Structure 1
Amino acid sequence: MDIHRTFGEVVFWEDGRLRHGGRVDMTRTALEGFGKSLLATDEVIIEATGNCMAVSRVLSPFVKRVVIANPLQVKAIAHAHVKTDKVDAGTLASLYAAGYLPEIWTPDAATERMRRLVAHRYQVVRHRTRIKNEVHAILHAHLIPKCPHADLFNVRGRAWLARQPLPDDERFAIERHVRELDRLAEDLATLDREIAETTLDDPAIRRLLTITGVNLAVAAGLMAAIGDIARFKSPQKLVSYFGLNPRVHQSSLGAAHHGRISKVGRSHARAMLVEAAWAAAKAPGPLHAFFVRIRARRGHQVAAVAVARKLTVLCWHLLTKEEDYLWARPSLVAHKVRSMELQAGKPQKKGNSRGPAYAYNVRELRNQEMRVAEQAQKGYEHFVEAWRPRPPKERARGRLNPARHE
């Protein structure tokens, strides 16, 4: 089926031949009627579109299997000069029959719901950032100096903003933006509560929270993108899924040239990993030492992406081996878990009933954990201080003439 917004073009593949099956309206009633006309041994092939999951859920009870194809890879495999709906549907059928159809993983209902929640939260955060940038642009256009307070949009910052000399139309625009920020804050709080309620008893989320720099939003976003970690046979597969693997260009006996990251895959999860990488780079520990080492050679932007890749590999090992992060800070992890519980609506603990998260409020205990993290950081620095990467030309000559190194 080549599905669109309002209809789907159907082609049957039988005994090596294609037969046109007409069109089906993209409504639940029409799809159920079409599903009843199929056999229980039939297989339905569709491309990944905005409504493909809904189509798959409706047709799955009537057929053996519903396969969702990757449209980008299908286009690369079967490029046609004559492109119609019937040709596209026939291409899907022929590729699947020949065993060349690139499929995508179909998430379960819970994972699909979490993906929607995370996507909605990401959109709200982006909208909020865009509005804040518009307010800053207005101030910049009228030569207003930088706000002396830490946050322009807290109580003190808004009071300072109201005192600035601005034209009436610009002041009205800022007031409209501030009202929109308040509305987005309510939406964001609602989404955070739903995400916390859904992931409260998830052991994989709690395991990812042990990593420095990973909060609930990042952990939930990563698990929504990953789904079942068993479908990734190696950490490199997960790195490629997030588009953090470098592009490689190599021909004949020439040296392989590694370029920028591919950025092929789930862009939302990749952005969250980079965000977590910046947070991890600021805290003491092996990840900070790794960031500093890469930054000295390649700059801070490349170093942040390298830490994001390192976090991806770390997530694969933790989820696959079902282990917590070795250099986790217990009080910080307990603080993250307690924050997740409060977001989910758990009652506050008052009086003498102090939980493990209370240790995060004791400065001496925090400093003690920081010292342990600093020792791990120094251990990593000592481990890699003797590493001396060879120049690219020397590596290339070594591949072309292996006898030099024998």
Structure 2
Amino acid sequence: MGRFIGLDIHRDFAQVAVVEDGFVTDWGRVGCRPQAMREFAANLRRDDQVALEATGNATAVAVLLEPHVAKVVISNPVKTRAIAEAKVKTDKVDARILAQLLAADFLPGTWLPDERTRMLRRLSSHRAQLVRGRIQVKNQVQAVLHRNMLPHPPVTDLFGTRGRAWLEHQPLPVDERETVDALLRQLDFYGQELAAVERRLAVEALDDPVVKRLMTIPGVDAMTAVTLLAAVGDFQRFTSADKLVSYLGLNPRVRQSGGAPAHHGRITKAGCGKARGMLVQAAFAALRSPGPLRALHQRIKARRGMQIAIVAVARKIAVIAWHLVTKDQDYAFARPSLVAFKRRKLELTAGAERRIARRGPGYDYNNKDLRRQEREIAEQAERAYAVLAAHWQTQRPAGNPRLPAIPGAANPSL
């Protein structure tokens, strides 16, 4: 039988503990540099198993060790602490706990993504940082206008051509004018970097069948689709849509004990916050198009309010995404001209040549009659969902009124 090795990883070193034949021993420290980790991996056996806690460099260490051992498990740090919370916490204790949990086959692991997924995650994370930085710069400019009692700009986009022209003629103290000019230079820098990152993401997403399929969902553009793909990786590893929703942190917290009814709280917000935020943005965008998603929002908004309804739509988009990818199907209520328009926008972001005065893919979106026909079909689907939801109610099992209600049981009088 192979050995079970636990690594408590830090930036410069990793503490090593081994379980062999039921005994735990300490192997001391090994350097957390590529060459040192390769030398450590060369001394391992093919039937060994290695466990390490999820940290910033855990994936890189796992990639180096994986070819030399039978299995590498990156443990979920939250669940690991919940399983084995020690009063005395040292590097040796943590390494021993990892090795012992691995030997007992009681270590909750995380999925190890492939190289392309790791690259997409890095790019999407960089994009999210640039977007946050740009928002902070814009807020600072608005703060300058606010503290100098200047009116709201007469244009929609303060940072567009007309907005900057208006901003240039506003009376500001010399130091505030210098601050605004510096902030605008920062904004231009963020814009250039963001365009470069989005181009790289667009190139990766251009021929990806998953991204192409996700873009058929209303509100989901290329950047939302590639961010979701980077966060999820392989959709097939989730056996149900509910597991994907839980992975993205869009499921409510549930507390239940004994015979008391279950209490549902706020969403858990576990998993990738970038993907969850992009899904919420997609939910807002989906409300501008007719269809079942908008009808779902209106139904829940009437009972629970705007915020809960938006989160419900984001959750529904995640559920739809799982079904589309795992079943190799496009969204049933997609608008073909809009999907072609989003596809063409992705091609332009990736650097495709612009066709000036020539009709190309996505041009049909400019046909008002075609857009009207597609909207009428989507509105029909929206009304059908509204009628279905209006006659949808919970029904308790016959003969035992104390049992919980069965959600979604149709009204037998219909």
TM range (shorter): over 0.9
Tell me the residue number matched to 1:339. Answer: 345
Give the counterpart of 1:373 among 370, 375, 378: 378
Separation in 1 of the partners of 2:109 and 2:136? 36
- For 1:249 and 1:35, the matched residues in 2 are separated by 44
Long gaps (5+) in structure 2: 1-6, 407-414
- Measure the CA separation in 2 of the matches of 1:248 and 1:66: 32
Residues 86-142 of structure 1 deviation map (CA, whole Å, 9 limit, x = unaligned): 100000010011111000000000111011111111111111111111111221122
**What is the one-letter code of the residue matched to 2:245?**
V
TM alignment of 1:7-406, pairs within 5 A = 7-350=13-356, 352=358, 354-388=359-393, 398-399=402-403
Equivalent-residue separation in structure 2 for 1:397 and 1:257 (angstroms) = 20
Tell me if structure 2 keeps the 8 A contact 1:253–1:400: no
Q: Distance in 2 between the 1:57 and 1:143 partners? A: 56
CA positional deviation for 1:192: 0.8
Contact 1:273 1:308 in 2 (8 A): yes
- Counterpart-to-counterpart distance in 2, 1:10 and 1:250: 40
- One-letter amino acid of the structure 1 residue matched with residue 372 of structure 2: N
Give the CA RMSD over aligned residues: 1.8
Q: Structure 1-normalised TM-score? A: 0.94
Deviations 1:359-399 (A, max 9, x none): 01111211221111111111111111223569xxxxx9733
**Distance in 2 between the 1:213 and 1:163 partners?**
38
Q: CA contact under 8 A between 1:242 and 1:270: conserved in structure 2? A: yes
Number of aligned residue pairs: give it. 397
SS of 1:283 mapped into structure 2: coil
Look up the SS of the partner of 2:402 in the other structure. Answer: helix
Q: Any idea what SS the aligned residue of 1:375 has?
A: helix
For 1:203-251, what per-residue CA distance to the aligned partner results, in whole angstroms no more than 9, with x for missing partners? Answer: 1100000000000110001111111111100010001001111111112
Structure 1 pair 22/235, CA: closer, same or farther in 2 (3 Å)?
A: same
Letter in 2 for 1:340: L
3-state SS of paired residue (2:16): strand
Deviations for 1:281-303, whole angstroms, at most 9, x for unmatched residues?
A: 22111111111111111111111
CA deviation after TM superposition for structure 1 residue 356, in Å: 3.7
Distance in 1 separating the partners of 2:268 and 2:357: 53
The answer on whether the counterparts of 2:14 and 2:30 sit within 8 Å (CA) in structure 1 is: yes
Query: Where does structure 1 lack aligned partners over 5 or more consecutive residues?
Result: 391-395
Q: TM-score, structure 2 length as denominator?
A: 0.93
Q: Distance in 2 between matches of 1:94 and 1:184?
A: 48
Paired amino acid for 2:355: K
Residues 331, 356 of structure 1: 8 Å contact kept:
no
Q: How much identity, in percent, do the aligned residues show?
A: 51
Q: CA deviation at 1:60?
A: 2.0
